[in-house]
Chain A
Amino acid sequence: MKISEIVTILDGVLVAGKDQMDREISFGFASDLMSDVLTLETNDLVLLTGLCNIQSIRTAEMSDIPCIIFVRRKKVTPEMIELAEESEITLIECNYSMFKTVVTLAEHGIRPLF
């Protein structure tokens, strides 16, 4: 699924990385613990998290994760946007709960890693 389609189905707000909207994503991973994210070997994934700080962007940067969805109405800061743009990471704000976000993405074919 393209990142642009993810934004639409989640009724999300794209806050960084609009140049990467055509990028295809197959897998999803949901975690607020960045050390768990850092154990993943797949890159082609969207990270769903409620951890809204600079370290979630850094974690995506180190792990080559192209897209982060911030759930539960979290608001991204200008510092986070700046770092995400630098690392070509797409950031999406979403008003849904983590559970609803996961269910919605799964219904549209985004698969779990394990």
Chain B
Amino acid sequence: MQFEFEVTGGDFANAGTASSQVKKILKQLNVSVSDIKRIVVALYEAEVNIVAHAYSGVVTVEIETTQVRIILKDSGPGIPDIDLAMQQGYSTASPEVREMGFGAGMGLPNIKRNMDVLNISSEVGIGTTVEMIAFLNVA
């Protein structure tokens, strides 16, 4: 099962809309509450990252019985140093992003903690692609 969502850079009012939709879908599919929470928390942080840093992005969510794989591909400035961006506390967020309650350099570490797989590739001046996978806790 696959779903696609568009995310607009700078549109803070709608940041989280995709994550909200995904939460509803996962609930309908009877995914466990704890898996839903870690997936949507990670996705929300990643979605906020697109709104905060990129011009536009597409979120693709692939749901299987054993895993949820999410690809977030954005057109934006890219990340020059991914290791640095992964460090807790490092942030290039604007004052506007901080006013929204983010921008403390916790997003990427938060995503990593919640997902089982996290891959980031980025090209400066082109954009960033984030792949994240959660293996579902199925009985």
| A–B pairs, 26, beta carbons within 8 Å | A32-B101, A33-B102, A35-B102, A35-B107, A35-B110, A36-B104, A36-B106, A38-B45, A38-B106, A39-B110, A39-B113, A43-B37, A51-B101, A53-B101, A54-B13, A55-B12, A55-B16, A55-B48, A55-B100, A55-B101, A55-B102, A58-B15, A58-B16, A58-B19, A62-B44, A64-B37
A-B contact sample (4 more), CB < 8 A, given A36-B104, A38-B44, A62-B20 = A35-B107, A53-B99, A62-B37, A87-B20
Least CB distance from A14 to B in Å reads 23
Which residues of A lie under 8 Å from residue B20 when comparing CB positions? Answer: 58, 61-62, 87
Report whether A34 and B102 are in contact in the complex, using a CB–CB cutoff of 8 Å. yes
Docked Cα-Cα span, A58 to B48, in Å, equals 11
Least CB distance from B114 to A in Å reads 9
Docked Cα-Cα span, A56 to B44, in Å, equals 12
Instruction: Please tell me the size bucket of the interface on B.
Output: 20 to 34
Dominant secondary structure of chain B at its interface with chain A: helix
User: CB-defined interface of A24-61 with B at 8 Å, one 1/0 digit per residue?
Assistant: 00000000111110110001000001010111101101
Which residues of A lie under 8 Å from residue B102 when comparing CB positions? Answer: 33-35, 55
Docked Cα-Cα span, A74 to B104, in Å, equals 23
Least CB distance from B52 to A in Å reads 11
Which residues of A lie under 8 Å from residue B138 when comparing CB positions? Answer: none
- What residues of chain B have their CB less than 8 Å away from a CB belonging to chain A? 12-13, 15-16, 19-20, 23, 33, 37, 40-41, 44-45, 48, 99-102, 104, 106-107, 110, 113
Report whether A63 and B41 are in contact in the complex, using a CB–CB cutoff of 8 Å. yes
User: CB-defined interface of A74-96 with B at 8 Å, one 1/0 digit per residue?
Assistant: 00000100000001000000000
Known A38-B44, A53-B101; contact A63-B106, beta-carbon cutoff 8 A: no
* Residue of B37, B45, B99, B107 with most chain A CB atoms under a 10 A cut-off: B37
Docked Cα-Cα span, A87 to B41, in Å, equals 15
Docked Cα-Cα span, A93 to B53, in Å, equals 32
With CB as the reference atom, state the residue of chain A lying closest to B17: A58
Which residues of A lie under 8 Å from residue B12 when comparing CB positions? Answer: 54-55
Report whether A33 and B16 are in contact in the complex, using a CB–CB cutoff of 8 Å. no
